[in-house]
Amino acid sequence: MSDLLTLRRPDDWHLHLRDGAAMQAVLPHTAQRFARAVIMPNLKPPVTTTTLAREYRDRIRAAVPQGLRFEPLMTLYLTDNMPTAEIDRAREAGFVVGCKLYPAGATTHSDAGVTDVARIDAVLERMAEVGLVLQVHGEVTHEAVDVFDREQRFIDDVLAPLVARHPTLRVVFEHITTRAAVEFVRGARAGVGATITPQHLLYNRNEIFRGGIRPHYYCLPILKTEDDRHALLEAATSGDPRFFLGTDSAPHARHTKENACGCAGMYSAHAGIELYALAFERAGALARLPAFAADFGADFYGLPRNEDTITLQRRPWTPPASYDFGTDRIVPMFAGESLNWSLVS
């Protein structure tokens, strides 16, 4: 088995960058590995207009380190009151690739999200007409629904009816976490795909509680069972083009994770492709990583595949206990643990 893996430069189809000094701290990790990334709009205040998306994009592009090429692909944050005219403005701008559906209260900075999908049917219809992609955080937020069942209930109550009502709308079911989600995507009509994160390929929910509460393994959607993890790994390594890379790298300052009400999210951008290489190699499917990482997402979004390459080397390295994060520190995935693949070029 070769100790080098050269692949087309990948893209990250689900990324949180935050803003300001925090964004400037984490962006280099992504830009070293990925040519493009779909940027999540859940800032405070959220990115709800094309004008705000343009301003955010300008800040991101200005922060890309010299010598690196990286293109942010922008999204708008859907609200109950978004006008359809904003969809037209987004499409005309050319740099907005889709709109993000956050059910209100589902995750970090989602309090301004959609309270009832029926309220945005006209917006979704217009998105389908102009070719923008709907990116979905797939969880219901009803108090009566168990946190581990929220994705399944979302499929049944929200996503399946939505996909049926809008038969030409392209939909990305983001950061899927369950066997039920895999089966839904496989059985869905054309134009439905899904991203899969490294943490959901590498861990099950036991990791959150191994030896005590471990807040740096807490993310939303939350880690699920070992059976779910196996289903996700099989989907990612199957060569099925409906499944592609989306890290959902979500940086939070260490003190906001390690407190009585810790934030949801795992930071993976520092090893955004190496972690996938580890998961695929463990599954005996390393040869299928390039298509998952660099081909399927671009094809789904109707964008050209990248022409340049990156190279990984089988060379162990240990991510540090923390990285700078503006004036704070951030704890990365695999902090203090050995990773057997490293980026060399």
Instruction: Please name which of 140, 138, 233, 146 lies closest in space to residue 188, comparing C-alpha atoms.
Output: 138
- Measured distance CA(258)–CA(279) in Å, rounded: 27
Per the CB < 8 A criterion, the answer to whether 289 and 10 are in contact is no
3-state class of 96 per DSSP? strand
β-pairing verdict for 4-8 and 309-313: antiparallel
Give DSSP secondary structure letters for 11-70. -EEEE---SHHHHHHHHHHHHHH-SEEEEP---SS---SHHHHHHHHHHHHHHSPTT---
**Alpha helix positions (H), the chain:** 20-33, 50-63, 84-93, 121-130, 150-154, 160-165, 179-187, 198-202, 226-236, 254-257, 274-282, 289-290, 296-301
- Measured distance CA(112)–CA(45) in Å, rounded: 9
Q: Catalytic: 248?
A: yes
Q: Which of 11, 240, 248, 295 is catalytic?
A: 248
CA 306 to chain centre: 19
Query: What 8-state DSSP symbol labels residue 114?
Result: B
For the CA atoms of 95, 99, 102, 107, the dihedral, rounded to the nearest 10 degrees, stands at -20
Active site residues: 248
